[in-house]
Structure 1
């Protein structure tokens, strides 16, 4: 079963409203879709989302990496020789993690189809208590004024979400505390609140803010990436100084990044994203390393569409050590651009039982250059 072709296409789907973090504002989910074909006729789908502020990739760089660096290495190779395939993929170039992730996802889609299993089962996801084919996602509240954020939080809770991720880190620590306080007062004590600073705080300010929130009884589930991604020492200082669990996100791309965090105990949790890790193969290594060290993981996504988030959900549902899920990005889109894949019932995500990802095709109307609806 040899790889016979790798093709790309450009997809662009508008968001229902702009998504704002400390790093950027986004109004559309733009990505490169990858189609991998093998000699027995199976087709695998993958997706890469450009996030210049995090992975350093653009639409143009992703497509060029896939077509002119990865594709020549993989054409003609047996897809069943997974050690060689993934070695070649990850040694093809430095960085370019989203481009690698798209091809990785498509390969796993083909492998699971070949074995006639949903991807989460192919990855090991049949639990003792039955099939683990449903997960609960949080919903993210973009960073805005405290009033806007509390209104948005209340709407999400009214819609049926029990877990909220609150974006902060754009301006002052004092205003961030007010944001979180207003949200907690609005949604009540029973809603789980997570805080994501997206590297927006300095070490001492982060300690001061988190301790203040603890003293105020805001009951924060975790604080994600409070300091710069490169500042492992600062993150460890925050982790050691507060009671609230600290989660590393942008700090951890690769297994070697995870090793540094785990070795130094710089964080209590790790957020794995396929666009950072380069796909499922390396993400699995990160999760196994964390599990051996007694550190639980979350799996989340960038602003991606149903295709790559479907892969992330399959992966997350297959691992015992992954206990938190951040998969709200497709809910922010004006349309589902795939036929098949995950379905949402408010905060619950149903994982398809068809072989592979469970995606049969990509909707033509969202393809750029093919009459895509880009406005």
Structure 2
């Protein structure tokens, strides 16, 4: 079945908290839903997200999509497109003006799976329907009170592990946050830290050893140093046998391949581009390297996580996007469950389409705050907020 039409819906709303890490912060969500429609009216859904600036107006997004993307989709089969290998050369090797790439891969795989009436994780070859989920705070800019409130809520919901942001100029603050986490969540829960490349290699080794001496056990240290410092990452792997190095988040598929072949990571971090995740995940399996699924929009990464045998963990960060869809991914008792519905199982909410769509660009002071999904989750679980 061929792709015959598309719809784009633009959203802009305030986040329920300031999110960020040692390098960045964000207070608003800037999102566009792309729906690809086939001859039988089936819809493949993907989301464009601009993390740190507004997306253009709806009309401008449609204009750019029509000019740059649609000619390569119109009249094509999604099953053919998801497996197509392109080798752009010269001036043809360029990105879209807007970050459409991940949204397109997700929407095409969603539509392809619907056309063969299969859940996406089954189409990808998955033999399980759940993976462990850890709570990630995106918490660098929160106060201590907000930090404890967030991770206390995550613990009450039964998450299987907890990851916090480190890399503060005052290292004592990193140690303080780890102390707070230990006081807030249950004893013995796996703990991870993410420095978002804040450190140099020698600095990272010294600080991670200091964390160990302070009595903190770490399952992994994520992105401690620059993404392409393969020598430094190998140094950390060899000098810190008591924890694991998790890297690759900021590298493209080719960079992830180089990272693994250089022996520069214990765990490969992948995200939301379905085709790229599967290709790098297959290589990781051949090399015996574990894979972790980082943040994916509305946790669509649960499908790749269930399909790749090397994946043990899926990241969940309490981002307030769930009001955009009819039925979010279920996360219960520390496990994320892949939907059994055809495709990835996410459908754009009609209420979101009517109540939350924002076709024009709003100034920061005009943006309304989105729902507080942490409170909603606690309410659903019957836990006092």
TM-score (normalizing by structure 1): 0.84
Aligned pair partner of 1:368 in 343, 346, 358: 358
Q: Which is further off, 112-121 or 235-244?
A: 235-244
Alignment of 1:33-182 (within 5 A): 33-51=33-51, 59-60=55-56, 66-82=65-81, 85=84, 87=86, 93-95=93-95, 98-125=99-126, 127=127, 132-141=128-137, 142-143=139-140, 144=142, 149-150=147-148, 152-182=150-180
Alignment of 1:254-273 (within 5 A): 254=253, 256-273=254-271
User: Contact 1:79–1:85 at 8 Å: present in 2 too?
Assistant: no
- In the TM superposition, what whole-angstrom CA distance separates every residue of 1:139-160 from its partner, at most 9, and x where no partner exists? 1230245665455433432343
User: Contact 1:252–1:270 at 8 Å: present in 2 too?
Assistant: no
User: Contact 2:113–2:342 at 8 Å: present in 1 too?
Assistant: yes
Alignment of 1:25-40 (within 5 A): 25-40=25-40
Deviation at 1:323, TM superposition (A): 1.1
Question: What stretches of structure 1 of length at least 5 have no aligned partner?
Answer: none
Deviation at 1:188, TM superposition (A): 5.2
Deviation at 1:219, TM superposition (A): 1.0
Aligned pair partner of 1:349 in 319, 336, 353: 336
Q: In structure 2, what is the Cα distance between the partners aligned to 1:272 and 1:67? A: 29
Alignment of 1:198-217 (within 5 A): 198-217=196-215
Deviation at 1:259, TM superposition (A): 1.6
Deviation at 1:62, TM superposition (A): 7.4
Number of residue equivalences: 354
Deviation at 1:10, TM superposition (A): 1.2
Which residue of the partner structure matches residue 290 of structure 1?
Answer: 284
User: Contact 1:74–1:88 at 8 Å: present in 2 too?
Assistant: no
Identify if the C-alpha distance between structure 1 residues 320 and 89 changes in structure 2 by more than 3 Å, giving closer, same or farther: farther
Q: In structure 2, what is the Cα distance between the partners aligned to 1:264 and 1:357? A: 34
Q: Which is further off, 220-229 or 331-340?
A: 331-340
Alignment of 1:301-340 (within 5 A): 301=295, 304=297, 306=298, 309-310=299-300, 312-328=301-317, 331-333=318-320, 335-340=322-327
Identify if the C-alpha distance between structure 1 residues 92 and 115 changes in structure 2 by more than 3 Å, giving closer, same or farther: farther
Q: In structure 2, what is the Cα distance between the partners aligned to 1:176 and 1:215? A: 14
Deviation at 1:184, TM superposition (A): 2.4
Matched, 1:3 2:22: no
TM-score (normalizing by structure 2): 0.82
Question: What stretches of structure 2 of length at least 5 have no aligned partner?
Answer: 369-385
Deviation at 1:230, TM superposition (A): 3.4
Matched, 1:358 2:345: yes
User: Contact 1:19–1:25 at 8 Å: present in 2 too?
Assistant: yes
Deviation at 1:85, TM superposition (A): 4.7
